[in-house]
Amino acid sequence: MSARTRPIRVLIVCTHNAARSQMAEALLRWMAGDAVDVHSAGTEPRPVHPLTVRVLEEMGIDASGLRAKSVEEFRGQAFDYVITVCDQARERCPYFPGGEQIHWSFPDPSAVEGSEEERLEAFRQVRDAIAQRLRLWLSVTLRGSAHGPLRI
């Protein structure tokens, strides 16, 4: 059993960094705390979607500090894991040295049309799917580490 001396560095990438990658960043930070140093970015960043903030706050996660960032802000930095959460970002994500590349494909909730409640439900479903995947990933990635209790 080896103790990790530093947090796991994670970059989560999506096309616009407005919904899926923002959810994943906030959820991972909330679940793992100091065990991870997590960031998110987009290949074509747009402002954070208001429903992203809403569904995170429904879980008690403070989303007030979220902002869209470009992958260019992180160029040259090393990450242990680079996780793409949409197919377009996977194709366009620049290479980050030293990091394991992981791809998870989630539907874009901001593409859903309909009533406010229908759109909100799409964001909730994607949030919950991302949370489920992160719980599994954390349980495997942090197995045997010295990090304290997680919110998984």
Q: What is the CATH number of the domain that holds 22?
A: 3.40.50.2300
Q: Is 144 inside a domain boundary?
A: no
Q: Is 120 inside a domain boundary?
A: yes
Q: Is 150 inside a domain boundary?
A: no
Checking if the pLDDT of 91 tops 70, the result is no
| Set 53, 93, 130, 138: catalytic member | 93
Please give the pLDDT value at position 90.
55
Checking if the pLDDT of 13 tops 60, the result is yes
User: What pLDDT digit, counting tens, does each position of 48-81 carry?
Assistant: 999 999 999 999 999 988 999 999 999 889 899 9
| Set 86, 89, 130, 134: catalytic member | 86
User: How far apart are alpha carbons 24 and 20 in whole angstroms?
Assistant: 6
Q: Is 51 inside a domain boundary?
A: yes
Question: What average pLDDT does this structure show over 77-90?
Answer: 84
Checking if the pLDDT of 2 tops 50, the result is no
Structure tokens at 26: 């906030």
User: How far apart are alpha carbons 82 and 39 in whole angstroms?
Assistant: 10
Domain count, the chain: 1
Q: Is 149 inside a domain boundary?
A: no
Active site residue 86: yes
Residues 6+ apart with CB under 8 A from 63: 22, 26, 48, 52, 53, 56, 57
pLDDT-derived band at 86 (thresholds 50, 70, 90) equals confident
Strand partners, 10: 38, 81
Task: Strands of the chain (E only): list them.
Answer: 8-14, 36-42, 81-84, 100-103
Structure tokens at 30: 């909330």
Checking if the pLDDT of 1 tops 50, the result is no
Active site residue 14: yes
- Rg of the chain taking only CA atoms, in angstroms: 15
In whole angstroms, what separates CA 64 from the centre of its chain? 16
Question: What average pLDDT does this structure show over 82-99?
Answer: 71
Question: What average pLDDT does this structure show over 25-32?
Answer: 96
Please give the pLDDT value at position 76.
86
| Set 14, 32, 83, 126: catalytic member | 14
Q: Is 60 inside a domain boundary?
A: yes
Q: Is 147 inside a domain boundary?
A: no
Highest-confidence range of 88-97, 125-134, 136-145, by mean pLDDT? 125-134
Q: Is 142 inside a domain boundary?
A: no
Highest-confidence range of 48-62, 80-94, 130-144, by mean pLDDT? 48-62
Residue 98's domain spans which residues? 8-137
Q: Phi and psi (nearest 5°) for 87?
A: -65, -40
